[in-house]
């Protein structure tokens, strides 16, 4: 998908994540961030209650866009280039917060953890029965992933926001792919690419011992 093309609805978002991988299976930063921006837009269509959730993602996307607009932009062309550049130049706080509170590595790590949640949630939705509750699916996927990194107060606020999620059918319809069946089929086709992006990032961060960055 070309830059600037509308990624409203969830399909565009998922396609964006598909286009993240280059021929060397490196994750390109720009489509990764575009994917996240589409996700935020999608989240915002579900009501103002999600703005506290999306606000943090927006702040993190902006940090990364600033790197991409800086003189160091080539060093942030992919996640792999970023890790290499920041580690080689000592630009990451590895053990405790310090000089680099907004390093690319720690910022991407937060988005990466949130991507796991999103994947689990959409996979749950895809395989759910028509009577399933989105709030339960969302809470379960959150508890199995991102919640482990959040303090009590954020967990509480997030779980409360989930109760405002639209019903399963409305949610599937909001994806703007057509019928609920079509939306489910689209998820089946598109979710493996999010999973792939997640796995490659996880391997990269594991390899460089970056999974616990403060
Ligand atoms: C319906 C499924 C939607 C998935 C959208 C994912 C958006 C994820 C954002 C969750 C943010 C919750 C509130 C913010 C918490 C931050 O403290 C936390 N950020 C994340 C992304 O986990 C940690 O960032 P920090 O404080 O270490 O900079």
Is the CB–ligand 1 distance for residue 118 below 6 Å? yes
How far, in Å, from the CA of 179 to the mean position of ligand 1? 30
Q: Which residue has the tokens 């997030």?
A: 158
Complex ipTM: 0.92
Alpha helices in the chain (DSSP H): 10-18, 29-44, 51-68, 79-88, 104-126, 134-143, 152-162, 168-174, 180-207
Measured CA to CA in angstroms, residue 97 lies from 65, 172, 185, 202 at distances of 22, 40, 43, 21
Is the CB–ligand 1 distance for residue 49 below 6 Å? no
CB < 8 Å & 24+ apart, contacts of 175-179: 175/9, 175/10, 175/11, 175/42, 176/8, 176/9, 176/10, 176/11, 177/9, 177/10, 177/11
Q: What is the mean pLDDT of the chain?
A: 92
- Of the candidates 126, 157, 121, 147, the one whose C-alpha atom is nearest the C-alpha of residue 136 is 121
**Which atom of ligand 1 is closest in space to residue 39's alpha carbon?**
5
Between 139 and 45, where is the model more confident?
A: 139
Ligand 1 pocket mutation, candidates 46, 93, 114, 144, criterion most atoms within 8 A of CB: 114
Is the CB–ligand 1 distance for residue 114 below 6 Å? yes
How far, in Å, from the CA of 19 to the mean position of ligand 1? 24
Please give the structure tokens belonging to residue 27.
């994750």
pLDDT tens-digit readout, 48-64: 777 888 899 999 999 99
User: Once rounded to an integer, what is the mean pLDDT over residues 3-23?
Assistant: 76
How far, in Å, from the CA of 129 to the mean position of ligand 1? 28
β-bridge mates for residue 28, sequence order = 78
pLDDT tens-digit readout, 2-11: 444 444 678 8
Measured CA to CA in angstroms, residue 37 lies from 7, 34, 117, 131 at distances of 9, 5, 16, 30
Q: How far apart are CA 1 and CA 34, in angstroms?
A: 10
β-bridge mates for residue 27, sequence order = 21
SS3 152: helix
Give the predicted TM-score (pTM) of the model. 0.93
Is the CB–ligand 1 distance for residue 212 below 6 Å? no
Is the CB–ligand 1 distance for residue 108 below 6 Å? no
Is the CB–ligand 1 distance for residue 28 below 6 Å? no
pLDDT tens-digit readout, 143-194: 999 999 999 999 999 999 999 899 999 989 988 888 999 999 999 988 998 9
């Amino acid at each position: 998908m070309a830059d600037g093309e509308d990624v409203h609805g969830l399909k565009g978002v998922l396609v964006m994540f598909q286009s993240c991988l280059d021929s060397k299976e490196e994750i390109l930063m720009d489509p990764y961030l575009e994917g996240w921006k589409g996700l935020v837009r999608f989240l915002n269509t579900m009501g103002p209650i999600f703005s506290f959730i999306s606000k943090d993602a927006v702040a993190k996307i902006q940090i990364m866009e600033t790197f991409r607009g800086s003189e160091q932009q080539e060093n942030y062309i992919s996640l792999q280039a970023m890790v290499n550049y920041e580690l080689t130049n000592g630009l990451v706080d590895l053990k405790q917060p310090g000089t680099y509170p907004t390093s690319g590595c720690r910022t991407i790590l937060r988005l990466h953890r949130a991507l796991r949640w999103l994947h689990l949630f959409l996979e749950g939705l895809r395989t759910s029965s028509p009577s399933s509750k989105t709030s339960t699916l969302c809470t379960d996927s959150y508890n199995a992933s991102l919640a482990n990194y959040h303090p009590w107060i954020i967990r509480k606020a997030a779980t409360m926001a989930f109760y405002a999620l639209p019903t399963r059918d409305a949610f599937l319809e909001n994806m703007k792919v057509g019928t609920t069946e079509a939306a489910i089929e689209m998820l089946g086709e598109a979710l493996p690419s999010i999973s792939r992006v997640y796995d490659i990032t996880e391997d990269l961060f594991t390899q460089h011992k970056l999974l616990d960055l403060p």
